A = this chain, B = another copy of it.
Amino acid sequence: MVVHLNFKSGVPVYLQIVQQVQSAAASGVLRPGDALPSVRVLAEELRINRNTVSRAYAELEKEGVLELRQGSGCFVKVPSASPLKRSARADRLATELDAVIVQAHHLQIADGALRSLLDERLADFHQRQRDNG
Protein backbone atom coordinates (compact mmCIF):
# COMPACT_ATOMS: atom_id res chain seq x y z
CA MET A 1 0.00 0.00 0.00
CA VAL A 2 1.68 3.15 -1.21
CA VAL A 3 0.06 6.56 -1.09
CA HIS A 4 0.70 8.94 -3.94
CA LEU A 5 0.10 12.63 -3.39
CA ASN A 6 -0.55 15.30 -5.94
CA PHE A 7 0.12 18.67 -4.39
CA LYS A 8 -0.83 20.65 -7.47
CA SER A 9 -4.33 19.26 -7.84
CA GLY A 10 -5.88 21.40 -5.15
CA VAL A 11 -7.44 18.32 -3.56
CA PRO A 12 -6.74 18.45 0.21
CA VAL A 13 -3.86 16.20 1.09
CA TYR A 14 -5.71 14.53 3.95
CA LEU A 15 -8.55 13.69 1.54
CA GLN A 16 -6.19 12.10 -0.95
CA ILE A 17 -4.97 9.81 1.81
CA VAL A 18 -8.50 8.98 2.93
CA GLN A 19 -9.62 8.12 -0.57
CA GLN A 20 -6.63 5.97 -1.41
CA VAL A 21 -6.88 3.99 1.83
CA GLN A 22 -10.61 3.59 1.32
CA SER A 23 -10.02 2.32 -2.17
CA ALA A 24 -7.35 -0.11 -1.10
CA ALA A 25 -9.47 -1.40 1.77
CA ALA A 26 -12.60 -1.66 -0.33
CA SER A 27 -10.85 -3.57 -3.05
CA GLY A 28 -9.17 -6.03 -0.74
CA VAL A 29 -5.62 -4.77 -1.22
CA LEU A 30 -5.73 -4.07 2.51
CA ARG A 31 -7.15 -6.85 4.67
CA PRO A 32 -8.53 -6.76 8.21
CA GLY A 33 -5.75 -6.70 10.77
CA ASP A 34 -3.18 -5.36 8.36
CA ALA A 35 -1.03 -2.70 9.98
CA LEU A 36 -0.69 0.67 8.33
CA PRO A 37 2.34 2.92 8.77
CA SER A 38 2.13 4.92 11.99
CA VAL A 39 1.10 8.53 11.79
CA ARG A 40 4.67 9.69 12.23
CA VAL A 41 6.12 7.28 9.70
CA LEU A 42 3.61 8.03 6.96
CA ALA A 43 4.00 11.74 7.59
CA GLU A 44 7.74 11.45 7.17
CA GLU A 45 7.43 9.33 4.03
CA LEU A 46 5.06 11.80 2.41
CA ARG A 47 6.98 14.77 3.84
CA ILE A 48 3.90 16.32 5.33
CA ASN A 49 2.91 17.29 8.87
CA ARG A 50 1.88 14.56 11.29
CA ASN A 51 -1.44 16.24 11.88
CA THR A 52 -2.40 15.93 8.25
CA VAL A 53 -1.95 12.17 8.40
CA SER A 54 -3.63 12.17 11.79
CA ARG A 55 -6.67 13.86 10.37
CA ALA A 56 -6.90 11.37 7.52
CA TYR A 57 -6.59 8.43 9.90
CA ALA A 58 -9.15 9.95 12.28
CA GLU A 59 -11.57 10.32 9.37
CA LEU A 60 -10.99 6.71 8.34
CA GLU A 61 -11.54 5.57 11.92
CA LYS A 62 -14.82 7.47 12.08
CA GLU A 63 -15.88 5.64 8.92
CA GLY A 64 -14.95 2.32 10.49
CA VAL A 65 -12.19 1.56 8.01
CA LEU A 66 -9.33 1.79 10.49
CA GLU A 67 -8.78 1.22 14.15
CA LEU A 68 -6.31 3.42 15.98
CA ARG A 69 -4.84 2.02 19.17
CA GLN A 70 -3.00 4.28 21.58
CA GLY A 71 0.58 3.28 21.75
CA SER A 72 0.37 0.38 19.34
CA GLY A 73 -0.56 1.79 15.98
CA CYS A 74 -3.01 1.72 13.16
CA PHE A 75 -4.86 -1.30 11.83
CA VAL A 76 -7.37 -2.11 9.12
CA LYS A 77 -10.74 -2.91 10.62
CA VAL A 78 -13.59 -3.96 8.35
CA PRO A 79 -12.87 -3.88 4.67
CA SER A 80 -14.78 -7.04 3.91
CA ALA A 81 -17.56 -6.34 6.39
CA SER A 82 -18.87 -3.59 4.14
CA PRO A 83 -16.79 -3.54 0.99
CA LEU A 84 -17.98 -1.08 -1.57
CA LYS A 85 -19.96 -2.78 -4.25
CA ARG A 86 -18.44 -2.85 -7.65
CA SER A 87 -20.89 -0.19 -8.79
CA ALA A 88 -19.97 2.08 -5.89
CA ARG A 89 -16.30 1.64 -6.67
CA ALA A 90 -16.97 2.50 -10.29
CA ASP A 91 -18.83 5.62 -9.16
CA ARG A 92 -15.75 6.92 -7.46
CA LEU A 93 -13.73 6.46 -10.62
CA ALA A 94 -16.46 8.07 -12.69
CA THR A 95 -15.93 11.40 -10.94
CA GLU A 96 -12.27 11.37 -11.81
CA LEU A 97 -12.94 10.25 -15.36
CA ASP A 98 -15.40 13.09 -15.81
CA ALA A 99 -12.68 15.57 -14.90
CA VAL A 100 -10.39 13.97 -17.48
CA ILE A 101 -13.10 14.20 -20.10
CA VAL A 102 -13.69 17.89 -19.43
CA GLN A 103 -9.97 18.45 -19.69
CA ALA A 104 -9.81 16.51 -22.95
CA HIS A 105 -12.68 18.55 -24.33
CA HIS A 106 -10.91 21.79 -23.55
CA LEU A 107 -7.74 20.46 -25.09
CA GLN A 108 -9.73 19.48 -28.17
CA ILE A 109 -8.77 15.86 -27.91
CA ALA A 110 -11.34 13.70 -29.63
CA ASP A 111 -12.96 10.69 -28.03
CA GLY A 112 -11.01 8.26 -30.16
CA ALA A 113 -7.72 9.87 -29.24
CA LEU A 114 -8.68 9.75 -25.58
CA ARG A 115 -9.44 6.05 -25.81
CA SER A 116 -6.10 5.42 -27.50
CA LEU A 117 -4.34 7.41 -24.82
CA LEU A 118 -6.01 5.31 -22.14
CA ASP A 119 -4.86 2.11 -23.84
CA GLU A 120 -1.35 3.46 -24.09
CA ARG A 121 -1.20 4.43 -20.43
CA LEU A 122 -2.71 1.09 -19.39
CA ALA A 123 -0.03 -0.76 -21.29
CA ASP A 124 2.61 1.44 -19.74
CA PHE A 125 1.19 0.84 -16.25
CA HIS A 126 1.24 -2.94 -16.61
CA GLN A 127 4.75 -2.79 -17.96
CA ARG A 128 5.91 -0.88 -14.87
CA GLN A 129 4.05 -3.36 -12.66
CA ARG A 130 5.96 -6.24 -14.23
CA ASP A 131 9.26 -4.41 -13.88
CA ASN A 132 8.72 -3.75 -10.18
CA GLY A 133 7.41 -7.17 -9.34
Contact = CB atoms under 8 A, between A and B. Distances in A.
A114 B14 CA distance: 26
A121 interface: yes
A103 B111 contact: no
Q: Classify chain A: how many residues form its interface, as a range.
A: 35 or more
Interface of A: 1, 4, 6, 8-12, 15-16, 20, 23-24, 26-29, 84, 86, 89-90, 92-109, 111, 113-115, 117-122, 124-125
26 contacts: A4-B98, A4-B102, A6-B99, A8-B95, A10-B11, A10-B15, A11-B11, A24-B106, A27-B106, A27-B107, A27-B108, A28-B108, A29-B107, A86-B113, A89-B107, A90-B107, A90-B109, A93-B104, A93-B114, A94-B117, A97-B121, A98-B125, A101-B122, A111-B122, A114-B118, A115-B118
